[in-house]
Structure 1
Amino acid sequence: MRAFDYVRTTDTREAVRLLADDPEASPLAGGTTQLDLMKDGVLAPARLIDITRLPLHDIERRGETLHVGALVTMEELAADSTVTERLPVVREALLLGASVQLRNMATIGGNLLQRTRCRYFRDPTVGECNKRTPGSGCAAVRGAARMHAVLGASERCIALHASDLAVALVALDAVVHVQGLSQSRTVPLTEFYLTADESPQRENVLEHAELITGVEIPLPPPVARSGYLKVRDRMSYEFALTSAAVLLVVDGGTIDQARVGLGGVGTKPWRSYEAEHVLTGAPATRATFLDAAEATMRDAWTVPGTAFKVPLARRTLVRALRTVSGVTA
């Protein structure tokens, strides 16, 4: 690991200024992914700016919106009463996303910014990685690629976005608050991430001298039902092969409102507007769910190692929809 300077700050604007002053600086919060990448030699910041003491630890409900500070831990958010009562899809995504030990360290802001689990990206001895070295190629396209993406993918990059929480939040129309050197801004989470076929080396719209300071989560109607289904190789903590975050409002057997996010298949947390279009206004039946799943995966881009994900993702979404809606036939 490269030697680095360590700076601690308690002021958000000072943290941003420190980032702006040093292009090789990086913020440090829970560090559960960042330190691994530093040990692997993928990241090599010259300075770490410890932001854990910034005043970004609050969870506050304001009307029908939940405001979450970027430094709230995964465990703290999962235990929040509003999340338990109104956002089961978020709670389930958090609890399925990591062990208790990691949930007590990992922050919400860090979770949204976690890097891909692509084995080729995380191994600097692999020369072909457009994410690390733009223009060098993508070793995963021709290599073992079971844990890679099929949506937002191309021959340029098939690296998978790993966050479970982000999948639930894109389905809920969450918004992130970002603090820059001269101004703050808000970005819908559906617009925050970039697909790998657009820009392999850049995963989101955050600039170097910007920090996520919080997340706004609109609360769904009290009659809504939601859930998160994660399919993985083992029941203990593992990254998703496929996952689905689903929210439905069903009235008299008809779907009045539908929100669908997919994980384990996209180069970014994937919002399936195609599935929502099929579901909204349609009867809550298995046939409708099958049509929605078919629409979701219609544009999948696969290599031999990832082809199995297309039917698996369809089945995952259908099962999640049946579970949330209560449709058993």
Structure 2
Amino acid sequence: MQENRLFEALLDVIPFAAYAVDVETYEVVYANKMMSESLFAPREEFCWKKVFGQEEICSWCKVPDLKQRSRQYKNEKLISSFFDEATDKWFQAFDELISWPDGRTVKYTILVDISEQKEIQASMIKTHAKLAIQSKKLQQANKKLKYLSEKDYLTGIDNRRSYFKKGIELFEASLDEPYDLYVAMLDLDRFKSINDTYGHNIGDEVLKEFTQTIELLLDENDIFGRLGGEEFSIILVSDNQDDVIAKLETIKNKIKAIDLKVDDKSVNVSVSIGFDKKIATDKSLDILLERADKYLYEAKNEGRDKLKFRV
């Protein structure tokens, strides 16, 4: 039929594989030159065998979808992609219902090989996934470095650097009435004797138990840091000095109650504490710390296991 040949000749110039399938019988009624060169079974009639070498209707077949869209939406076009296991290739299919010159309704399909694009996409996804993993690891490493830069390696509380950074910020902040800033200095009594008697491993356990006991008694906004060796400090804000005294007395008593045993012998632990309140003439945190430290040594000189402060 001359009309069919002219129609098919026009479709042959398309630079992609193209074919047409009767939507009722699934018979291949046309395959352009590029498609004909790659047919799996040229003598077969059904599209799934002839075009793709499948034993049954292809899982990606769009004939039912096109029919439904034609009935419901008057839309007879679809664009989809699928992986053809027979050729190990990805294709993008441009499907459309058209009326063939002989009057039949056919699914006309243009196939574009997109395997290379898919490989590029897969490579990009792998690269992004790799970068995401590396970024996550970097974040974790940075978080760990930040922790190590701010926390005491043994006890896990603020180290000297972090303590002063936070403390200076709080010292320089304006507190609402009637709140005041308090600084306490704490020193474990006879800690050198503990190390000399039981060894540094036991000394480390004492420091850990000491800090853990205190942390349980502090509020979220209290600043607790290890300044060096067995010397610690707490910075807190309160509207009542009696509450501060009560908290520090509780800390002192809890430390004395620590029950740490070595070879069935109890390790006696106690702490001396000195504290003071910020006053208007204080120009720096160091000045306030010096006064608290002075009261700490008064506590030491008066027999240890004491709390001293300005009355």
**TM-score, normalized by length of structure 1?**
0.19
- Report the structure, 1 or 2, having the larger strand content: 2
**TM-score, normalized by length of structure 2?**
0.20
Kindly indicate whether structure 1 or structure 2 has the higher relative contact order, using CA contacts under 8 Å at least 6 residues apart.
Answer: 1
